[in-house]
Amino acid sequence: MDSFNKKPLIFLNRIEISDKNCIKLFFRDGEQIIQRIKNNEWIMFNIKLDIYYAVEQSNTIGILIELFEDIARVSLEYLNYIPPKKITVKEQIIGKGFNPDILKKRQNLNPVTLIPFEINGTDFIGMRYRFSKDDFWKLKNDPIIAWNNMHKAWVFKSSRTNLMHLFKLLTDKYLIKVSVSLQISDVEIRQHLMEQVYEKDRFFKPSPKAYLEYMNLHNYSWNTISTYHNLLLRFINTFRTKSLSQVNKFGVNEIDEYHNGMIQRKGVSPSLINQSVNALKLYYRVVVGVEIDTSEIERPKKANTLPQVYGVEQIQKIVRNINNEKHKAIIFLIYSSGLRISETINLQINDLLFDRGLVQVRNGKGMKDRLTILSEKAAQITKQYIRSYCPDYYLFEGQYGDKYSTTSIRRILDKAIKKAMVPKKGGPHILRHSFATHLLENGTDLRYIQALLGHRSSKTTEIYTHVSTRHLAGIKSPGDFLEI
Catalytic residues: 340, 365, 429, 432, 455, 464
| Sheet bearing 370-373, strands edge to edge | 352-353, 358-361, 370-373
Cβ atoms of residues 13 and 23 within 8 Å = yes
What is each CA distance from 238 to 172, 259, 261, in whole angstroms?
24, 11, 11
CA dist., res. 205 & res. 234, Å (int): 10
- On the CB side of 122, how many CA atoms lie within 13 Å of its CA? 10
Q: For 307, which DSSP code?
A: P
For the stretch 326-329, contacts whose Cβ atoms lie closer than 8 Å and that sit 24 or more positions apart, written own/partner, are 326/385, 326/388, 326/389, 326/396, 327/412, 327/416, 328/381, 328/385, 329/378, 329/381, 329/382, 329/384, 329/385, 329/396
CA dist., res. 357 & res. 367, Å (int): 23
CA dist., res. 332 & res. 431, Å (int): 9
What is each CA distance from 97 to 66, 101, 367, 483, in whole angstroms?
63, 12, 38, 55
Q: How many residues are listed for the chain in this entry?
A: 484
What one-character-per-residue DSSP string does 130-199 give?
---HHHHHHHHT-SS-EEETTTTEEEEE--HHHHHHHHHHHTTTEEEEE-TTS----HHHHHHHHHTTB-
CA dist., res. 289 & res. 178, Å (int): 34
Cβ atoms of residues 225 and 190 within 8 Å = yes
